[in-house]
Amino acid sequence: MIVVNLDVVMAQRKIGLSELAEKVDITLANLSILKNNKAKAIRFSTLDAICKALNCQPGDILEYVDEE
């Protein structure tokens, strides 16, 4: 299972949902879905913009966790 740790990275960078949504040019609703680990997919362009805004790597945000 892929876990999205966006909330953790946002907290480390001290950035709020609204500010990140504006920087990434994504709706607050879609960013919230991603942040709350409810997303089924993410576009590479969105991941790129998030990593740029948060100055991080994709591996900081996405994590594989074995379901067993």
User: How big, in percent rounded to 5, are the helix, strand and coil portions of the chain?
Assistant: 55, 10, 35
% of the chain at pLDDT higher than 70: 100
Which amino acid type is present at position 28? L
Chain centroid to CA 16: how far?
Answer: 12
- Residues facing 2 on adjacent strands: 64
Instruction: Write the pLDDT tens digit of every residue in 31-48.
Output: 999 999 999 999 999 999
What digits encode the pLDDT tens for the residues 15-24? 999 999 999 9
Split into its structural domains, the chain has a count of: 1
Going from the C-alpha of 31 to that of each of 16, 41, 48, 56, the distances in angstroms are 11, 12, 14, 17
Residue numbers of the domain that contains 44: 2-64
Q: What does the pLDDT read at residue 48?
A: 97
Specify the CATH number for the domain of residue 35.
1.10.260.40
